[in-house]
Structure 1
Amino acid sequence: MSNILLPTLTRKREVDTIIRDTLDKVLILRFGRASERECVHLDEILYKSCRDVSKFATIALVDADAEEIQVYIKYFDITMLPSTVFFFNAHHMKMNSGSADHTKWVGSFHTKQDFIDVAEVIFRGAMKGKLIVSCPLPPERIPRFQLLFKGL
């Protein structure tokens, strides 16, 4: 249901436009598939948080299967879904959450408040001119994934 209520982007031009035109707010792009359980869980959290973060953030869903979106999938090295990428005034915002990859949030958030805390920290850091912030969540609430490297 939330994927109907939050804007879903399927074209590169739509993603380029929302990144360029979202000013003085954090832009939160969720890359994923509406059919996957983990994405549905994250979408529900995003939808329920939408009103709470509306003064400082904009949320959009990006269809990871759309042909034109593959350029972003490759650019952000999105191999696991859902993945959430943050921007502020067209600058890619990064977050140190204890993993080797600071460019995106991989997986879902445990609670609505976890998501709001992350969005708020990114906004506060961006307002101070930072491009990377520290994750405000305790380590037990940060999803962990085993990274496997093929062909090494």
Structure 2
Amino acid sequence: MSGLLLPTLSRKREVDSIIRDTLDKVLLLRFGRAADPLCLHLDDILSKSSREVSKFATIALVDIDAEEMRIYTKYFDITLIPSTVFFFNAHHMKMDSGTADHTKWVGSFHTKQDLIDVLEAIYRGAMKGKMIVSCPLPPERIPRFQLLFKDL
């Protein structure tokens, strides 16, 4: 229900455009499905936070079931949903959260404040020219998943 307040992208052209056109703000792309319970929880947090972070962040939802989105799910190795990817001025921003994968946030955030803290950290790091930032959250609030790497 809360996903209705946020733009939902289902075409490659839309995703390319928002990545290219979002300047001087963090772009958060949530890859997932509208019907998934964990995605619904994250979407609720995202929609409640979108107004507070609107000066330094833009939030959009990406439907991974759309045919054209397979290129992104493959490129970012999105196997678990929801997965959140961050950009700043069309550059992919990474975050060291103590997990094996720095390219995306896998899972939901526990609270609205956790999301705001992460977005602020990415924004501040990006403004200093960093491409990877440290996660500001304590380890117990970072979702842990057993990642399996294929074809290694």
Q: 1: CA distance between counterparts of 2:113 and 2:45? A: 9
1:1-150 correspondence runs (5 A): 1-149=1-149
Deviations 1:8-33 (A, max 9, x none): 00000000000000000000000000
TM-aligned CA deviation for residue 151 of structure 1 = 6.9
TM-aligned CA deviation for residue 147 of structure 1 = 2.1
TM-aligned CA deviation for residue 146 of structure 1 = 1.3
Deviations 1:82-103 (A, max 9, x none): 0000000000000000011000
Q: 2: CA distance between counterparts of 1:54 and 1:137? A: 21
The unaligned stretches of length 5 or more in structure 1 are none
TM-aligned CA deviation for residue 149 of structure 1 = 4.5
Q: Count residues with an aligned counterpart.
A: 152
TM-aligned CA deviation for residue 148 of structure 1 = 3.1
Q: 2: CA distance between counterparts of 1:111 and 1:48? A: 10
Partner SS, residue 114 of structure 2:
helix
> What one-letter code is carried by the residue in structure 2 that aligns with 1:148?
L
Q: 2: CA distance between counterparts of 1:150 and 1:25? A: 34
TM-score, normalization by structure 2? 0.97
Deviations 1:122-147 (A, max 9, x none): 00000000000000000000000112
Percent of pairs with identical residues? 81
TM-aligned CA deviation for residue 48 of structure 1 = 0.3
The unaligned stretches of length 5 or more in structure 2 are none
> What one-letter code is carried by the residue in structure 2 that aligns with 1:55?
K
Deviations 1:26-85 (A, max 9, x none): 000000001000000000000000011000000000001000011000000000000000
